[in-house]
Amino acid sequence: MSDTLTLRRPDDWHLHLRDGAMLAGVLPETARHFARAIIMPNLVPPVVRGSDAAAYRERILAALPDDMSFEPLMTLYLTEDTDPDDVAASHASGLIKAIKLYPAGATTNSASGVRNFDHVRPVLERMADIGLPLCVHGEVTDSDIDIFDREAVFIDRILDPIRRKTPGLRVVMEHITTQEGVAYAGSGGDDLGATITTHHLVINRNDILVGGIKPHYYCLPVAKREEHRLALRAAATSGDPTYFLGTDSAPHVDALKEHACGCAGCFTATNTMSILAEVFEQDGALDKLERFASLHGPRFYGLPVNDETMVLTKGDPVVYPEKLDTGDGPVTVFDPKMPLHWRVS
């Protein structure tokens, strides 16, 4: 088998870059490998209006090292006060590529998210009209629902009713973590896609909890049972265009991860491509990596694939830093607990 793999330069369809010193620290880790990324809007305060997204985009470009090329694809954070006209104008100008829906309280900085889904109907209807995708954090927040069931219940109670009521609405189920998520996304036709993270292909819930709590494996949606991880692996490596890469690389400084109330998020920007190549090789699907990381995302978003290529070569285990030093403090790089043999040349 060849020790070289050439693919179109990949994109990341779900990324947290933060702001300020953290943005400056983590942006090169993504821009080194990825041509574009869908930028999550859950800053404090969130990126709600087009003017917020335009200003954030400028801060990202200002933080980009001169010798790197990278295009941030901006999103807006859906609130119950979001103005459909501002959404439509931001889309028409080319500024934004999606709107992000966080159920209120579901995850990091989601307090301004949606409580009553009827209150966002005018925005959803406008999005269906103009073909603007909705990126969904698909977890209910009801206190009587077990955290491991939040995704499956969200599909039944919230997502499926929204899609039935809003024909033509294009939806990305972000960071799916369950067999139910894989199955629902796969049955939805061309208007439905799903991103899968790097870390959910590697860890299950035992990795978080067995032998002591591992805060750097804690993210949301939380990793599930092994059977769900295997379903995600099968989906990612299947070649089905429904599924594409969204790393959800989500940096938090170690002081906030290794904490009595630790933040959710795995930081995978640094080693994602090496991990994915290892995973796809293990599953006999190296020939499908380009589709997952470089082709299916642009297809869903109606964007051209990248002209540049990325070359991965196989050799001795890749050495990558355990931590990234940022101006805000150290951020631990995701540990896939296996040697990685594919390096980006």
Q: Count of H helices and E strands in the chain?
A: 13, 13
Query: Is residue 12 annotated as part of the catalytic site, yes or no?
Result: no
> Which partner in ligand DOR, Zn ion, none is near 108 (CB below 5 to 8 A by kind)?
ligand DOR
x/- string (CB under 5 A) for Zn ion, residues 247-286?
-x--------------------------------------
Q: Which residues pair with 15 in a beta bridge?
A: 39, 249
Nearer to ligand DOR, 41 or 193 (CB): 41
Nearest residue (beta carbon) to Zn ion? 248
Give the β-pairing of 323-326 and 192-196: unpaired
# binding residues, ligand DOR (CB under 6 A): 11
Whole-angstrom distance, CA of residue 82 vs CA of residue 84? 6
> Which partner in Zn ion, ligand DOR, none is near 42 (CB below 5 to 8 A by kind)?
ligand DOR
Contacts 24+ apart (CB under 8 A), 257-261: 257/215, 257/216, 257/218, 257/332, 258/215, 259/215
Whole-angstrom distance, CA of residue 205 vs CA of residue 180? 17
Nearer to ligand DOR, 86 or 174 (CB): 174
Least distance CB 13 / ligand DOR (angstroms): 14
CB 211 within 8 A of CB 257: no
The span of 45-53, 241-249, 295-303, 314-322 binding Zn ion (CB under 5 A) equals 241-249
Nearer to ligand DOR, 130 or 213 (CB): 213
Least distance CB 249 / ligand DOR (angstroms): 9
Based on the shown chain and the rule CB under 6 A, indicate whether residue 150 belongs to the binding site for ligand DOR. Answer: no
**Residue whose tokens read 């010193």:** 21
# binding residues, Zn ion (CB under 5 A): 1
Whole-angstrom distance, CA of residue 295 vs CA of residue 244? 8
Indicate the SS3 state at residue 337.
Answer: coil
In Å, how far from its chain's centre is CA 214? 21
Least distance CB 187 / ligand DOR (angstroms): 24
Q: Which two tokens stand for residue 76?
A: 């807006």
Of residues 41, 133, 193, 265, which one binds ligand DOR by CB under 6 A? Answer: 265
Whole-angstrom distance, CA of residue 99 vs CA of residue 75? 5
Whole-angstrom distance, CA of residue 270 vs CA of residue 273? 8
Nearer to ligand DOR, 220 or 333 (CB): 220
Nearer to ligand DOR, 84 or 330 (CB): 330
Q: What is the number of other CB atoms lying within 10 angstroms of the CB of residue 218? A: 19
Least distance CB 226 / ligand DOR (angstroms): 20
Nearer to Zn ion, 86 or 248 (CB): 248
Least distance CB 138 / Zn ion (angstroms): 12
Least distance CB 311 / ligand DOR (angstroms): 31
User: Nearest to residue 250, comparing CAs of 317, 200, 178?
Assistant: 200
Give the active site residue among 83, 248, 283, 287.
Answer: 248
- What is the set of active-site residues? 248
